Amino acid sequence: MSLWQSIADTLRTEIAAGQWRPGNQLPPEAQLAARFGVNRHTLRRAVRVLAEEGLLFSRRGAGVFVAAAPVEYRLGERVRFHRNIELAGRVPGRVIDSIATRNSDRTEAKALAIPVGAEVHVVEGVSTVDYRPMALFRSVFPADLSPDLFAALSQEGSITRALAFCGIADYTRVSTRMTAALANETQAAALQIAPGDALLRTEAINASDGRMIERGLTWWAGERVTLILDGKDGDQGS
């Protein structure tokens, strides 16, 4: 057995035994290399193999961490990201990268039942679980939904809270479309995966009081999530 295989087997056994738990950071590369009496190249090959198996992941500038099992994420009548992740016993997070107002295209107008070219607010960012990127999202809202929506989206870290601030206390899922995709270089960099890795793309339409209020696109890192279609409400408020 080669040195890198021996190192991979040792770390794999330690992870299985619970010595390294999900979310734990492994010791620095120099310390691990010294422990096993190998150079960094050999150590990196062992770590790379375990990462390919889904046991480890690297966070740029932070180190190597033990990966958690894929998150079970339920898609039902009421879907709230923060609540779903908390129910799974994990730590949710959301980083909003951009908020812009522009004219709607034909696809957005049809989904939201508004005239083509009507103004929409577009929010884009990254959803995280246990501080690790889980998905990229883009939410599109009719700009006339509320005069305060743009400001609320800028201030709130949660779309649900921003809508509530604007008087939309509840909304439900009208439809969800799911397709497979491959990550391009930009998506891969944001999700800390490799270009060409599998993504799950969902398109959701949400409504309140009979009006379409959101078209949401999400690109999930395929290896990190299990999407579950659930017909039950489940009281998944955020």
CATH number at residue 155: 3.40.1410.10
Residues 88 and 159 in one domain: yes
What average pLDDT does the chain have?
Answer: 88
The total number of structural domains in the chain stands at 2
What mean pLDDT is predicted for residues 179-205? 93
Residue 131 lies inside a defined structural domain of this protein? yes
Are 125 and 224 in a shared domain?
A: yes
The answer to whether residue 160 is domain-embedded is yes
Give me the pLDDT at residue 232, please: 52
- Which residues sit opposite 133 in a β-bridge? 128
164 and 62, same domain (yes or no): no
* Whole-number Å distance between alpha carbons of 159 and 152: 9
* 46 and 143 assigned to the same domain: no
Query: Is 237 inside a domain boundary?
Result: no
Ranking 7-21, 82-96, 146-160, 167-181 by mean pLDDT, the lowest is: 146-160
Provide the residue range defining the domain that includes 17: 3-66
- pTM score of the predicted model: 0.74
For the ranges 30-44, 137-151, 221-235, the lowest mean pLDDT is seen at: 221-235
Alpha-carbon distance of 92 to 4, in angstroms, equals 35
What is the Cα–Cα distance from 211 to 113, expressed in whole angstroms? 8
- From 23, 51, 66, give the residue that closes a domain: 66
